[in-house]
Amino acid sequence: MMKKLFHLALASLLLLVLYTFSDGNGDINKLPVGSAQAAPEVRINGTMTPVAGALGITAENYPQLDGSTSTHSIVSAIYRAMYGEGAHPHPPQASKTVPSYHRLIDGKVDMILVPYASVDVLEQAKRAGVELEFHQVAAEALIFITAAPNEATSVTREQIREIYLHYGITNWRQLGGLDRTLVPICRNSDSGSQSQMDNLILNNQPIHPGIQNNYIELTMEGMLEQVAFYHNGGLSGSPTNSYALGYTLYTYLQKMNEMTGIGERLKILAFDGVFPTAEHIANGDYSLADGYYAVVRSDLPEQHSARAVITWLKSPDGVKAIEKLGLIPCKK
């Protein structure tokens, strides 16, 4: 009997405590910060961080964002800066580069974080009567990669064009390597790295069909794996007398190497005599340097929250956030 009375008393005390910290209607969302039951404010009522408040960004006017696979970390960093660490729900997955541009042109999103647009995308925007506005937020570069054991160390613009436009170089011996077949891997047309390849190397000319039809890779991760393991017959095949050639984005490879160690199986090739490093990319010494951009339609109102996000990205705090992601800040 005494044990039952004790349990009833304990339950009553718990109800009293919950009521004390509620709004009188059983709402326990106002538990004091630091109490054992308190949850982060952003998970409860969508309140924003002081950073967001200073920019005039609220849960109601938070911009619709999208972007490439390689910039999803920037989208997430923006979200954390405005909603706070641990905020839910997390930003949606990236639509990828070209689909993101399509969504922006169609007015389905307010801002995208992407590599620079391809000629096809710019022409599509022009046909739609849309002017795109670009704000660079980080430096990036297109790089060429091969398997680590390959003895070749560099390529030139002319050699890359000869390979991918004409399939005119088929042996690594022509590039200073051993007598092994050169297998050029390419990306799908709506990828960020392919947009860079088109803009910086191919001048929007089509890749040779012998490459396009036989050696296309649909994901950034797949490109790294194909190049790293092709000479071994893939992930579980028999060794071949070949090495693959591929391309990706510099900071993406650095990030994937930290996560998976794939960089140990790959070799970055110098391009036109310059080896890509963060310093060479930031100061423009590496000729295939470009960047990641916050892109909006030029008709976006000046007071729109997406423009406030751009202001933050270019602020000292935004630059620190970019650096924390392992990206290369723009040269001032």
Structure confidence at residue 314 as a pLDDT band (50, 70, 90) = very high
DSSP 8-state symbol, 259:
H
Is the CA virtual torsion 195, 198, 126, 293 positive or negative?
A: positive
Residues 144 and 282 in one domain: yes
In a domain, 196, yes or no: yes
Same domain flag for 89 and 221: no
Nearest to 142 by CA among 326, 329, 287, 293: 287
Q: How far apart are CA 253 and CA 140, in angstroms?
A: 11
Average pLDDT over residues 64-92: 85
pLDDT at position 262 over 90: yes
Does residue 18 sit in the same domain as residue 120?
no
Q: Is residue 332 part of a domain?
A: no
Phi then psi for 186, rounded to 5 degrees? -125, 170
Which tokens sit at 10?
């304990």
Whether 108 is covered by a domain: the verdict is yes
56 and 129 within one domain: yes
Token pair belonging to 182 = 């050169």
Domain contains 330: no
Q: What's the pLDDT score for residue 74?
A: 94
DSSP run (H or E) holding 127: helix 119-127
- Is 72 part of any domain? yes
The DSSP H or E segment spanning 227 is helix 220-229
- Pick the closest to residue 327 from 222, 275, 255 (CA basis): 255
Candidate from 63-72, 106-115, 146-155, 261-270 with smallest mean pLDDT: 63-72
Same domain, 88 and 176: no
Q: What is the residue range of 10's domain?
A: 2-38
What rounded mean pLDDT belongs to the chain?
Answer: 85
> Could you give the CA distance from residue 30 to residue 81 in angstroms, rounded to a whole number?
23
- Report whether the peptide linkage leading into residue 89 is cis, meaning its omega lies within 30 degrees of zero: yes
What does the pLDDT read at residue 91?
A: 65
Q: What is the DSSP letter of 274?
A: B
Are 98 and 160 in the same domain?
no
SS3 content of the chain, % helix, strand, coil (to 5): 45, 20, 40
166 and 228 in a single domain? The answer is yes
24 assigned to some structural domain: yes
Are both 147 and 271 inside the same structural domain? yes
Q: Within this chain, do residues 71 and 192 fall inside the same structural domain, yes or no?
A: no
**CATH number for the domain including 98?**
3.40.190
Neighbouring CB atoms inside 10 A of 327's CB total: 27
Nearest to 204 by CA among 219, 191, 189, 225: 189
Question: 48 with 18, same domain?
Answer: no
At 132, list the tokens.
Answer: 């795109």
The number of distinct structural domains making up the chain is: 3
pLDDT band, residue 235 (cuts 50/70/90): low
In the predicted model, is pLDDT for residue 124 greater than 80?
Answer: yes
166 CB burial (10 A radius; 0-12, 13-18, 19+): exposed
315 belongs to a structural domain: yes
Q: Do 67 and 8 lie in a common domain? A: no
Higher model confidence: residue 38 or residue 268?
268
Residues 243 and 274 both lie in one domain: yes
Tell me the pTM.
0.77
Residue 34 has a pLDDT of 28
At residue 286, the pLDDT reads: 97
